[in-house]
Structure 1
Amino acid sequence: MTSQNYKRIITVEADARKAYWALTQGMHKWWTTPDAPMVTVGDRSTFSFPPGNGYWTFEATILNPNQCVEMICVDALHLHEGMPKEIETEWLDTRVRWDIHSKGDNTEIAIEHQGLIPQLHCYEICEAGWDMFFVESLKAYLNTGIGNPHLAPSTTAQD
């Protein structure tokens, strides 16, 4: 049986070290600004999308430098007008895993969001979001140094 989890693979021109940094401490460069970086297994980071679109708190479960990052959603509040209330916590207990592989001068990064499946109310919204942030913004950041993260009104990406 084929998994229905959200999965994508990108190839970037950056090395595995830079890819790992972007997935643990540099998420503000391509996704959104968390309240804390992920440095040690057990670290928790809350990712919000101001103004008022909710938040997700993740706990780092695997941090293998330059190879793998995995985190589990431990708190969620996804607010989306016109959607059923169940959407608010659909990410709870889902896992996001990135596998990083050097491929010559390039690096391949595979994402699997375990539990983000088409049967969820949020699937199409979240699929589009991951495609924008992972497939497009992370790839752009790692290839050019400039991503397209979500920014709160009147803010810019911080180093």
Structure 2
Amino acid sequence: MAKNDFKSSISAKISAGEAIKKISNVPGWWGVTFSGSSEKQNDQFIIKMGGDSFFNFTIAELIPGKRVVWLVTDCNMPWYSDKKEWANTKLIFDLTENNDVTDLSFTHEGLTPEVECYKDCAPGWTHWIKTSLFSYFTTGKGVFREPTI
């Protein structure tokens, strides 16, 4: 893993098992249109953000209470010159539970300052992890606009 992959982290008073359940409920914290399943290893799901954009994911790794890895198997990001920029990147959620508090370390492996979307994706991920997912962990509600269908 490159040192310059995008990273973000939060801590919340939630069990690691509950945190993984909430991460797996993608529409609960990431304001997107969702189809498929995201609960078990090898599950596949699709996220759409409007227009022709899409992101296909496979749960590449799931260690209950410890780690979830989503592999981007295909995507279309029409607003960038490399529309497949996220393809074969990984979204990694590592969790550590201690005294009823879970630390989440998020890494988007392959999202580095050298790629075109970094300037938009880094602040986006900072919002989705530090604001929306944290809120979902602590209040049961993410912080986002409802997706347009």
TM (norm. structure 1) is 0.86
- Corresponding letter in the other structure for 1:142: F
**Residue 36 of structure 2 aligns to a residue in which SS?**
coil
Q: Verify the 8 A CA contact 2:46 2:56 in the aligned structure 1.
A: yes
Deviations 1:69-104 (A, max 9, x none): 001111110122xx4x21x11101001110111121
- The sequence identity of aligned pairs, in percent, is 24
- Residues 53 and 147 of structure 1: is their aligned pair in 2 closer, same or farther, counting only changes over 3 Å? farther
Aligned residues of 1:27 and 1:33 also touching (Cα < 8 A)? no
1:71 corresponding residue in structure 2: 70
Residues 32-47 of structure 1 aligned to structure 2 (within 5 Å): 32-47=32-47
Give the number of equivalent residue pairs.
Answer: 148
Whether 2:125 is the aligned partner of 1:130: answer yes
Q: 114, 135, 138: which one pairs with 1:119?
A: 114
Decide which of 73, 87, 90 is 1:92's aligned counterpart: 87
The whole-number CA distance in structure 2 between the counterparts of 1:23 and 1:136 is 13
Aligned to 2:5: 5
Cα RMSD (Å)? 1.8
Amino acid at match of 2:72: C
Identify if the C-alpha distance between structure 1 residues 54 and 143 changes in structure 2 by more than 3 Å, giving closer, same or farther.
same
Shift of residue 149 of structure 1? 3.7
Name the amino acid aligned to 1:71: W
Question: Which stretch of structure 1 is more off in the superposition, 27-36 or 139-148?
Answer: 27-36
Provide the secondary structure at the position in 2 that maps to 1:73: strand
- Could you say which residue in structure 2 is the equivalent of 1:56? 55
Quick one: distance in 2 between partners of 1:49 and 1:61?
22
**Which residue in 2 is equivalent to 1:148?**
143
Q: Shift in Å at residue 150 of structure 1?
A: 4.6
Residue type of the partner of 1:14? I
Contact 1:29 1:149 in 2 (8 A): no
- Which TM-score applies when normalising by structure 2? 0.91
Whether the aligned pair in 2 keeps the contact of 1:29 and 1:148 (CA below 8 Å) is no
Contact 2:9-2:129 at 8 Å conserved across structures = no
Tell me: CA distance 1:17–1:65, structure 2 relative to 1, closer, same or farther (3 Å): same
5+ residue gaps, structure 1, are none
